Amino acid sequence: MARPTSSSPSSSTHLLETNLRESMSPLSVKDLRRVFDNLDKNGNGLLSLEELNGLLGMIGHTQSHEELEASVGKSSLDFDEFLLFYSNISGGGCSSEANSGEDVHLHEAFKVFDLNGDGYITSDELQSVLSRLGMWEDSNCSDCVRMIRAYDTNMDGHLDFEEFKNMMMLTIS
């Protein structure tokens, strides 16, 4: 995986942050830092392929070690490389694609949260995914219920794909 050329780490991070803001990325760089730090079990500032594959497994994208190494091109990723990797797997740069291309990426993201595959995201599913990503520490689901209610336009207590899509479009704009 090619690294962006830069004179300093901070300008490299700024470039990646700008690219992520312009993409369909539902997670902020701050959120991705928390995910990275949570996955970096030994605290060395690098994600090994095993640590990275753990994340992919949590979101339902299992790959063999060999497949992952072939796609990443190295044995570990620092944070900037992780941002680039995330941008690539989440459809970064898709703002120039047709809406149907955007919908494909949104459907993939929706499936990450729709744990039971019933076509709806419940507050329990939302809390479960956020917890696995290290972005939710509270055992109380009331905030997830409020998050679902905020975008639940038909008031049925969960998000269907269109409600999820509207939420994501409002969040990234």
In this prediction, what percent of the chain has a pLDDT beyond 90?
A: 9
Q: What is the pLDDT of residues 105-116, one digit of tens each?
A: 788 888 888 999
Taking the C-alpha atoms of residue 49 and residue 15, their distance in angstroms, rounded to an integer, is 24
In this prediction, what percent of the chain has a pLDDT beyond 70?
A: 69
Tell if the pTM clears 0.75, that is, is over it. no
- The predicted model gives 145-170 an average pLDDT of 87
- The predicted model gives 13-41 an average pLDDT of 63
Q: What is the pLDDT of residue 12?
A: 35
- The predicted model gives 30-49 an average pLDDT of 86
Most confident of 28-42, 56-70, 96-110: 28-42
CB 158 within 8 A of CB 152: yes
- Contact partners, residue 64, CB within 8 Å, separation at least 6: none
DSSP-assigned states of every residue in 130-148: HHHTT----S--HHHHHHH
Confidence bin at 18 (pLDDT 50/70/90): very low
Taking the CA atoms of 16, 92, 82 and 132 in sequence, report the sign of the dihedral they define. Answer: positive
- All structural domains of the chain: 9-89 (1.10.238.10), 97-172 (1.10.238.10)
User: Is pLDDT above 70 for 77?
Assistant: yes
